[in-house]
Amino acid sequence: MKLRNILFGLLTTTLLAQSSFAQLGGVLKNAQKAKKAADIYTPWTPEQEQAIGQASAAKLINVFHVYDNPDMTRYVNLVGNTVARQSGRSVLYHFAILDTDVVTAVSLPGGYIFITRGALANLHNEAELAGVLSHEVAHVDRRHLEKEIRAQKTAQFAKEEAASHVPAGAELINIAGSVVTRALTLQVSRDKESEADKVGVEMSSKAGYDASGLRNFLQFLAAVPTTPETKQALGLWGSTHPPLGDRINSLNAVLPSYPATGQKLAERYAWYVNPPAFAHQAGPATAAAAPAANEVDGIVSQGVVVITNGKLAEGTRVKVRPQP
Amino acid sequence: MKTQVRAGAVLLAGVLAGSVYGVTLTLPQQQQQDSSGQQPGQQNQDNKKKKDNSKNAAANQSGQAGAPPANTPPPNNPPPAGNQPSGDKPTPLFGGTIGLKSSRQTKDSATLGFNGVDPNGQVQKAMLTAAATPLDAMKAQQVAQTTVTPADLAQFLQDGGLNPDAAPQKP
């Protein structure tokens, strides 16, 4: 009987101890979950977002360099702001061109959006450009990259103690490195990509563009044959976005709900983005050959031949022979 | 009966004790996961490789060379919507037989054109670990200052037959 009492006493003590440990464990687990959720859903302040965005932009520019063509950059900014003003969240957007033949576009926190020279060379009209840019604007508008960074705790900044100040110095460099590494090496989650596609289409359409611009460009990329050159050009796009076929199918499902009367503006696109425009900004080794004597380069825009390289005296009569 | 009670009690105590240990072991593992989520490469900037200076030089060259493509203003009147290609199949902008185009024309520049990526199109690791230079920071500052004026944008929208109304701003 005595032994039984001892055993019951031991059992009761053990049960109580287990119960309090379990409760403590549960409380700690819940606290950690709550903190993680708070980290994910507490958005960066505009000051934090701006500082991180600009530092990340510097890091991205370190990788690819900026393509310094004021006219083309201004055009990209006009198209980008045309769709961004349909986004809703108050962000001052900045668009720039990266100096690489790689075909991609990248968005960073704070409204920094980059499209590559290679992407511009392969778009066919302004609606396609608007489609690509609006997809990136949607990522910024919905804070997709920021949420991924916070969720994964890849940045020092995600720690609670850093959440109340604008990062600077080494801390900012670390965060920018994390942001750019993530943007250039990993996909954001499939649902966020899908959301960006759909929100982007809506923005493009509301802006007055043909809503199928992004879908058409993705179809073009999907049809590109695989060669070493195209593999190099499209590898980054493939590794940071879901498969083209999946995205095209998803877009095909939503496009019928948008008006088919949007603008494509192929001629305006060709006016700003064309081989002579690129060649003028290339370095000495890559500049387009000067036209032969009594010749100039030009492009037809709005039914008018615009001279893009060389000069002719006022009043000179010309004959135009189109080049393939 | 006594033996059964003893055996049952010992078994129960053992199971309960095991579960207590299970809880206490779980917490440090979670903490480990949290700290391992940080990328080691981000911690030590001193170990990062220096970027190839020649690349910067090339970028500067390309940035400084040449004038804007045309001195004429952009077209004021957009083509009528009916003149826009509709349902057109994407065609190469620059001509050529391959499906994908480079904006650069020569073989030398095409190689240079893929700066930053390996043959698979992935960004080179050295590029990712290199720190931004003061020049990069300055360029980023320039990008931050790039804006379009409301008047320019309004004209652009009008020229393109685009929607002049913006969406209402969310807080």
Taking only the tens place, the pLDDT of each residue in A161-216 is 455 688 888 888 888 888 888 888 877 778 888 999 999 999 999 999 999 999 99
- Whose structure tokens read 């700690």? A28
CB < 8 Å to A177, chain B: 39, 41-42, 128-129, 131
Which 3 state secondary structure label does DSSP give A308?
A: strand
Nearest chain A CA: its distance from B51 CA (Å): 8
Per-residue pLDDT tens over the stretch B6-18: 545 544 444 444 4
A174 touches chain B (CB under 8 A): yes
A157 touches chain B (CB under 8 A): no
A287 touches chain B (CB under 8 A): yes
A278 touches chain B (CB under 8 A): yes
DSSP tag of A90: -
pLDDT at B29 over 50: no
pLDDT band, very low/low/confident/very high, at A309 (cuts 50, 70, 90): low
| Residue B151 or residue A184, greater confidence | B151
The span from the CA of A125 to the CA of B95, in Å, is: 15
Nearest chain B CA: its distance from A68 CA (Å): 5
pLDDT at A159 over 70: no
- Whose structure tokens read 């060669």? A227
CB < 8 Å to A207, chain B: 162-163
**Residue A220, pLDDT score:** 93
pLDDT at A16 over 80: no
pLDDT band, very low/low/confident/very high, at B50 (cuts 50, 70, 90): very low
What is the ipTM score, two decimals?
0.73
Q: Which two tokens stand for residue A197?
A: 């596609």
A156 touches chain B (CB under 8 A): yes
Q: What percent of chain A has pLDDT over 90?
A: 44
Among A10-24, A137-151, B33-47, the range scoring the smallest mean pLDDT is B33-47
Q: Which two tokens stand for residue B42?
A: 């981000």
**Residue A107, pLDDT score:** 94
How much is the pTM?
0.65
Q: Which residues of B58-92 are buried (b: 16+ CB within 10 A; e: fewer)?
A: bbeebbebbeebbeeebbeebbeeeebeeeeebee
Sign of CA dihedral A118, A123, A124, A130: negative
Question: In one letter, which amino acid is A220?
Answer: F
Complete DSSP assignment for A190-223: HHHHHHHHHHHHHHHHHHTB-TTHHHHHHHHHHT
CB < 8 Å to A10, chain B: 9, 13
Range A38-52 average pLDDT = 77
CA angle A112/A117/A118 to nearest 5° reads: 120
Q: Output the CA–CA distances (angstroms, integers) from residue A254 to A84, A147, B151, in the order listed.
A: 20, 26, 34
**Residue B67, pLDDT score:** 33
Top mean pLDDT of A57-61, A150-154, A189-193 is at A57-61
pLDDT band, very low/low/confident/very high, at A144 (cuts 50, 70, 90): confident
CB < 8 Å to B82, chain A: none
Per-residue pLDDT tens over the stretch A71-110: 999 999 999 999 999 998 889 999 999 999 899 999 999 9
Q: Which two tokens stand for residue A223?
A: 């049809």
User: Residue A271: which of B61, B74, B112 has the nearest Cβ?
Assistant: B74
Complete DSSP assignment for B60-92: HHHHHSS--S-SSPPPSSPPPGGGS--SPPP--
**Residue B20, pLDDT score:** 36
- Decide if A286 and B30 are in contact by the 8 Å CB cutoff: no
**Contacts (Cβ under 8 Å, ≥6 apart) of A289:** none
Burial zone of A321 (CB within 10 Å; 0-12 exposed, 13-18 middle, 19+ buried): exposed
- B116: alpha, beta or left, given left = phi > 0 and alpha = psi -120 to 50? left
**Residue B57, pLDDT score:** 34
Range A112-134 average pLDDT = 96
Average pLDDT, chain A: 82
Which 3 state secondary structure label does DSSP give A29?
A: helix
Pick from A157, A161, A154, A151: nearest CA to A171: A157
The span from the CA of A235 to the CA of A214, in Å, is: 18
- Decide if B98 and A271 are in contact by the 8 Å CB cutoff: no
Measured torsion, CA atoms of residues B8, B10, B15, B16, in degrees rounded to the nearest 10: 110
Residues in chain A: 324
Top mean pLDDT of A127-141, A155-169, A279-293 is at A127-141
Neighbours of B93 (CB within 10 A): 20
| CB contact at 8 A, A103 and A118 | yes
pLDDT at B120 over 50: yes
The span from the CA of B9 to the CA of A240, in Å, is: 57
- Chain A interface disruption, residue of B103, B105, B142, most A CBs within 10 A: B103
The span from the CA of B148 to the CA of B87, in Å, is: 31
- Decide if B62 and A14 are in contact by the 8 Å CB cutoff: no
pLDDT at B141 over 90: yes
pLDDT band, very low/low/confident/very high, at A14 (cuts 50, 70, 90): low
> Are β-strands A105-108 and A112-116 bridged in parallel, bridged antiparallel, or unpaired?
antiparallel
The residue extents of the domains of chain A are 42-264
A316 touches chain B (CB under 8 A): no
Element (H, E) at A306: strand A304-309
- Whose structure tokens read 């993680």? A36
Average pLDDT, chain B: 58
pLDDT band, very low/low/confident/very high, at A267 (cuts 50, 70, 90): very high
Question: In one letter, which amino acid is A50?
Answer: Q
- Decide if B100 and A234 are in contact by the 8 Å CB cutoff: yes
- Decide if A57 and B140 are in contact by the 8 Å CB cutoff: yes
The span from the CA of A248 to the CA of A139, in Å, is: 18
Complete DSSP assignment for A168-181: -HHHHHHHHHHHHH
Per-residue pLDDT tens over the stretch B156-166: 999 999 999 99
pLDDT at A59 over 90: yes
- Decide if B141 and A54 are in contact by the 8 Å CB cutoff: yes
B108 alpha carbon, distance to own chain's centre: 27
| Residue A280 or residue A272, greater confidence | A272
Q: Which two tokens stand for residue A207?
A: 């802006």
Pick from A60, A51, A62: nearest CA to A169: A51
The span from the CA of A58 to the CA of A180, in Å, is: 10
**C-alpha neighbours within 13 Å on the C-beta side of residue A104:** 30
Top mean pLDDT of A181-185, A274-278, A302-306 is at A181-185
Which 3 state secondary structure label does DSSP give A104?
A: coil
| CB contact at 8 A, A215 and A95 | no
Closest chain A residue to the Cα of B138, Cα to Cα: A58
**Residue A323, pLDDT score:** 66
pLDDT band, very low/low/confident/very high, at A5 (cuts 50, 70, 90): low
| CB contact at 8 A, A182 and A158 | no
